[in-house]
Amino acid sequence: MLRRKFLQLAPVSTLAAAGACAARPPAQQSSPRLLKPARLQTGDQVMLICPGGPINEARLQKAVANLTSLGLQPRLGKHVLAQNGFNAGTDAQRLEDLHAAFQDPNIKAVWPVRGGYGCTRLLPLIDFELIRAHPKLLIGYSDITALLLAFYQKTGLVGIHGPLGSSDFSDFNLGHLRPLIMEGAETHLIHWAAEGVSLVGGKARGPLIGGNLTLLAAMAGTPYGFDAKGKLVFIEDVGEDPYSIDRMLTQLRQSARLDQASGIILGEFVGCEADPDDLSLSLLDTLKGRLVEFGLPLVYRMPFGHGDQNCSLPIGVQAELDADTGSLRLLESATA
């Protein structure tokens, strides 16, 4: 049913059709003052850490090779290969590596090797004054969503929702990452017409915020949860059944003022279709059922997060979504 071109699906309600008419200005609200980290330069030292799940030596070496290919000098967190069950070491070990990376003046960016469960455990323990005093690029996705959002909420730090240290550094992924972290691009166009589906048309502007749906839902109602009002919200996940997607979107509707977002950008939701014999709505019907009624510009199957193609999206940076053409334009740089 989904073709490899940008489709305009028929509006399912009068409200949805009305939402496609005009660009939506961002709502007025209190947002953190942006704290932009310095862009990376050839030869900069970058710390590889594991704040969530554990890794093996092969995965670490892939991350080292990836950073070296960018002309960067990878350095290893003290506990990067530690393991404590499903976590990459104890909370104290993972926190030590995170704090050490931000405190070290020679380190110019912090790049998790992988996501994996565990980042939310660290949030109450993090020294946010340390992060504010030493702003640096933090790059990653999946469970790293917790750190990206918490840093933005507590300090205003712009982080990059993008490839992890051990991700595939494909031409596509680097083409959307390098301009943000190494070239200081003031504007950047991400055009997804060949990939996406428009569920509600129109244009919308606002600061980008979002990440992995499981983490967004897990942080709802905590001091680190996000407020969608006036923002361009991007959401993705992997390996979740449609009923779980429904439950988590329902939680965000009730906790994050999702209906007051400027627009919503949905990822590919890899492996989230129901099994053929399940008593279930399809993934697409689930997403439409929870979001289309808002009448906000809304697109689906944008390539970010757990798919092979992973565009980099800077948290807190102003952007404009065109849901009719399938494009997102960053309106300011992600770095100082």
Both tokens of 71, joined, read 């002309």
Residues 6+ apart with CB under 8 A from 196: 6, 299, 300, 301, 302, 326
- Characterize the bridge pairing of strands 107-112 and 137-140: parallel
Dist. CA 299–CA 198, nearest whole Å: 5
- Global pTM? 0.91
Cβ-based neighbour number of residue 275 at 10 Å = 7
Cβ-based neighbour number of residue 61 at 10 Å = 12
Q: Where are the alpha helices (DSSP H) in 104-212?
A: 119-122, 128-133, 145-155, 171-181
Question: CA angle 54-55-58, nearest 5°?
Answer: 175
Both tokens of 306, joined, read 């757990």
Both tokens of 99, joined, read 């704090």
Among all residues, which ones are annotated catalytic?
142, 236, 306
Segments of the chain scoring below 70 in pLDDT:
1-30, 193
Dist. CA 125–CA 165, nearest whole Å: 24
Render the burial of 27-38: b for 16+ CB within 10 Å, e for the rest.
eeeebeebbbbe
Dist. CA 109–CA 120, nearest whole Å: 21
Dist. CA 305–CA 183, nearest whole Å: 22
Query: Which has the closest alpha carbon to 46: 139, 93, 111, 99?
Result: 111
Distance of CA 42 to the CA centre of its chain: 25
pLDDT of residue 6: 52
pLDDT of residue 132: 98
Average pLDDT of the chain, as a whole number: 92
pLDDT of residue 24: 43
- CA of 285: how far to CAs of 12, 79, 188, 194, 242, in Å? 11, 44, 32, 21, 9
